[in-house]
Structure 1
Amino acid sequence: MSEQRSGTGTALGQRHVVIVGAGMAGVQTAVALREQGFAGPVTLIGAEPHRPYDRPPLSKAVLLGKADGSAFDVDFAALGVTLELGREVTGVRPGDHELDTAAGPVRYDVLVVATGAEPVRLPGTDADPAVHLLRTLDDAARLRPVLAEQRDVVVVGAGWIGAEFATAAREAGCRVTVVEAAGRPLAGALPAEIAAPMAAWYADAGAELRTHARVRSVEPGSVVLDDGTQLPAGAVVIGIGARPATAWLAGSGIDLGGHGEVLADAGLRTSRADVYAVGDCSSFPSGRYAERLLVHHWDNALQGPRTVAANIIGETPAVYDPVPYFWSEQFGRFVQYAGHHRAADTTVWRGDPAGAAWSVCWLRAGALVGVLAVGRPRDLAQGRKLIEAGTALDPERLADPARPLKSALA
């Protein structure tokens, strides 16, 4: 068999793979390359100076001072992976196979874009030391004193990160007010009838949730809403969403979508030769759901790298078409979600949403396409497998929460 070569004419075993982004997607790409037998040089570049770390603990153990960090348990030296930390990449020239950085250019044979997402900021608050984001280890370190001092906290945004931070702040003894421009929490993530019961969780935990509330300004010691209401605020935490961290790709010729995400194909390749994209920064076409998916969750960053590694090595072409999955811990509840509900034509409740444990199933043409489980991990585990199998279910049997979800086969 002839030796496979990249677009630069370099032999497969000698190609230099450069991964930009040292979060979950970047780290797992490096690990997957070695696990699948790639022997060439691998360089992992991260903008932060810290050893690569996992992000979910930031809103929980790290934030509450129960852990100093969440570094990945990966021996990069043993893997033969070169770490370049504290090095920001400012651009890429695919035609030259080179990255631009402040410390000089970096040449690659294969590039993997794994720069994740960055939080959306509240306009006019960038220089205010009382306004915080929660995305990085440094963000968590700045917020720890806020919780330790039990300051009054205003959280802007009742999405996943807003709810998780509010949970931690209440656990620390802070007075918490959450303001949300929409009429319910998780407005961009779940249908109104599903998210509505979750509004009561805030009051149950001693937090105040204000919906239909927009921030006019942040003043010293307070947040002013559009209606003139002033909320006491020793600190303000912004959780109004995230967008792909892809500004550095401007002018590269790498195709981007409407949200700024890299448009990858089913093998997670981009529009330019020898460039892949994986994790929060990219979208991919899902054959399972017949639409392009942009998934900002940990499991996507964990699973996608295996496909990238397989296609870089090139022995057996791989297609990425996962059942999306995520979880959230908020107000004493463990919330899990698998699938993609927007394609559904039928919604089935399992249990009373006023109770401690319930779930919702979404069907399309009788087959399960999505499941949300609150305190019902078995529903999630079984549902995920049924979605992967494309199994048809009987809605009447499915609605009985006493039955195992898998027993509702049509």
Structure 2
Amino acid sequence: MTEQTREEGGSPGRRVVVVGAGMAGVQTAVALREQGFTGTVTVVGAEPHQPYDRPPLSKAVLLGKAEGSAFDVDFAALDVGLRLGCEVLGVRPADHELDTEAGPVPYDDLVLATGAEPILLPGAEGVPGVHLLRTLDDAERLRPVLARQHDIVVVGAGWIGAEFATAARQAGCAVTVVEAADRPLAGVLPAEVAAPMTAWYADAGAELRTHARVARVEPGEVVLADGSRLPAGAVVVGIGARPATAWLAGSGVELGAHGEVVADDHLRTSVPDVYAVGDCASFPSGRYGERLLVHHWDNALQGPRTVAANIIGLTPAAYDPVPYFWSEQFGRFVQYAGHHTTADRLLWRGDPLDPAWTVCWLREDRLVALLAVGRPRDLAQGRRLIESARLLDPAVLTDPAKPLKSAAVS
């Protein structure tokens, strides 16, 4: 196809196939239509359900307060085709064909939006009573477990583990969370920031066991490496996720160290006419000077606009967002923006023993990341400060009584 055709919004015969019916895939289809693409758009999804949003699964859906979380998208009105319950098997870029269990699907442009899949607990596959929480079916299987108020063991004190433990306590279950590291969120936050969160578990009536490795899961019990046994009517595993890209083996699409699709700053892959967006892809960040792999909802929401602009033939700016996510756990609203590993300084706004506080990470007196607990205004103002890269006055920044934005040096 010529650039002229792309600039006109794509010819009616041009075919875009999107693999993945989650947020990134659905928003890619929506963005294509919003930006004027006139060709064929088809979304291929492995699950049979109408495309749905995932964050409510660990909250309202899990607790039976909602039957589902389908996207409010009229696919028929957008003239977007859906192929649901269709597993992808591979892609042949030279032929411009996607292989699926229902047969080959030809494309002119292909968008990889397959997201991430949960990491399984070694040795626990197929053991009765062991659950994951990633899909709508997972949430539906767990709802009666919570309703029966089982003793529940959660493996992993990360974001999903904390959110599930919160829901289980709200349902009246006895909850024990086991974490191999010395603190919650050990893989994503430094010790001094994660330490205050340890008390949240006890405050909510959940037991947190750190330095606790699971040796094996037996019917009705979890056996730890030290020999102790925990009663478990159900076990929920939340030890992380990896990009769902195994099906790309042998395709020529470059994968990174974590199995993610390696995309450039316009979310193009190493293969012509193939793009990648959302949890399955990493991208180079000029803002942070390193490649980022972001497994969060906001990335899946923002990236599709860049992909759509590329497909149509526009010239989008390099994709370099300020990463953002939130979590609701143990009665607290936790928000994070930025990327703190490049920081040279950490400052507190407020006392972490209080209900609301914020941590700010700076590099050369410019904000690069912040974590806000119960302070949404800090988050909103901080995100803008990260984007603008303005110099800040640390003395003003650390005063929780002053608006965060007032720390900017004019």
State the TM-score, normalizing by the size of structure 1. 0.98
Distance change in 2, residues 1:148/1:142 (3 Å)? same
Render the CA deviation track for 1:103-161: whole Å, top value 9, x for unaligned: 11110000000000000000121111200000000000000011000000000000000
Q: Which moved more, 1:376-385 or 1:307-316?
A: 307-316
Partner of 2:341: 342
Render the CA deviation track for 1:214-249: whole Å, top value 9, x for unaligned: 000101111000000000000000000000000000
Is the 2:10–2:37 Cα contact (8 Å) retained in structure 1? no
> Which amino acid in 1 is paired with 2:403?
P
For residues 52 and 108 of structure 1, the distance between their equivalents in structure 2, rounded to whole angstroms, comes to 21
For residues 258 and 312 of structure 1, the distance between their equivalents in structure 2, rounded to whole angstroms, comes to 27
DSSP-derived class of the 2:95 partner: coil
Partner of 2:64: 65
Partner of 1:235: 234
DSSP-derived class of the 2:94 partner: coil
Pair 1:364 & 2:373 matched: no
Is the 1:21–1:44 Cα contact (8 Å) retained in structure 2? yes
For residues 190 and 23 of structure 1, the distance between their equivalents in structure 2, rounded to whole angstroms, comes to 27
DSSP-derived class of the 1:33 partner: helix
> Which amino acid in 2 is paired with 1:345?
D
Partner of 1:166: 165
Unaligned 5+ runs, structure 2: none
Q: CA shift at 1:101, angstroms?
A: 1.0
Q: CA shift at 1:397, angstroms?
A: 1.1
For residues 201 and 248 of structure 1, the distance between their equivalents in structure 2, rounded to whole angstroms, comes to 40
Partner of 1:407: 406
Partner of 2:263: 264
Pair 1:89 & 2:82 matched: no
For residues 34 and 346 of structure 1, the distance between their equivalents in structure 2, rounded to whole angstroms, comes to 44
Please list, as runs of the form range in 1=range in 2, the aligned pairs for 1:144-293 lying within 5 A after superposition.
Answer: 144-293=143-292
Is the 1:254–1:271 Cα contact (8 Å) retained in structure 2? yes
Partner of 1:315: 314
Is the 2:10–2:38 Cα contact (8 Å) retained in structure 1? no
For residues 392 and 129 of structure 1, the distance between their equivalents in structure 2, rounded to whole angstroms, comes to 55
Render the CA deviation track for 1:307-364: whole Å, top value 9, x for unaligned: 0000111122332100000000000000000000001001110000011000000100
Render the CA deviation track for 1:258-289: whole Å, top value 9, x for unaligned: 00000000000000000000000000000110
For residues 267 and 165 of structure 2, the distance between their equivalents in structure 1, rounded to whole angstroms, comes to 35
For residues 328 and 134 of structure 1, the distance between their equivalents in structure 2, rounded to whole angstroms, comes to 15
Distance change in 2, residues 1:15/1:397 (3 Å)? same
Distance change in 2, residues 1:205/1:238 (3 Å)? same
Q: Which moved more, 1:120-129 or 1:16-25?
A: 120-129
Distance change in 2, residues 1:81/1:197 (3 Å)? same
The CA RMSD measured in Å over matched residues stands at 1.4
Please list, as runs of the form range in 1=range in 2, the aligned pairs for 1:117-132 lying within 5 A after superposition.
Answer: 117-132=116-131
Partner of 2:379: 380
> Which amino acid in 2 is paired with 1:310?
A
Partner of 1:305: 304
Pairs aligned (count): 407
Please list, as runs of the form range in 1=range in 2, the aligned pairs for 1:15-26 lying within 5 A after superposition.
Answer: 15-26=14-25
For residues 249 and 315 of structure 1, the distance between their equivalents in structure 2, rounded to whole angstroms, comes to 28
For residues 5 and 260 of structure 2, the distance between their equivalents in structure 1, rounded to whole angstroms, comes to 25
Is the 2:127–2:218 Cα contact (8 Å) retained in structure 1? no
Is the 1:311–1:318 Cα contact (8 Å) retained in structure 2? no
For residues 311 and 83 of structure 1, the distance between their equivalents in structure 2, rounded to whole angstroms, comes to 22
DSSP-derived class of the 1:76 partner: coil
Please list, as runs of the form range in 1=range in 2, the aligned pairs for 1:90-109 lying within 5 A after superposition.
Answer: 90-109=89-108
> Which amino acid in 2 is paired with 1:125?
A
* Percent identity for Structure 1 against Structure 2: 78
For residues 234 and 253 of structure 2, the distance between their equivalents in structure 1, rounded to whole angstroms, comes to 39
Partner of 1:116: 115
Unaligned 5+ runs, structure 1: none
For residues 11 and 30 of structure 1, the distance between their equivalents in structure 2, rounded to whole angstroms, comes to 14
Is the 1:3–1:12 Cα contact (8 Å) retained in structure 2? no
Q: CA shift at 1:4, angstroms?
A: 2.2
For residues 18 and 175 of structure 2, the distance between their equivalents in structure 1, rounded to whole angstroms, comes to 40
Q: CA shift at 1:12, angstroms?
A: 4.6
DSSP-derived class of the 2:52 partner: coil
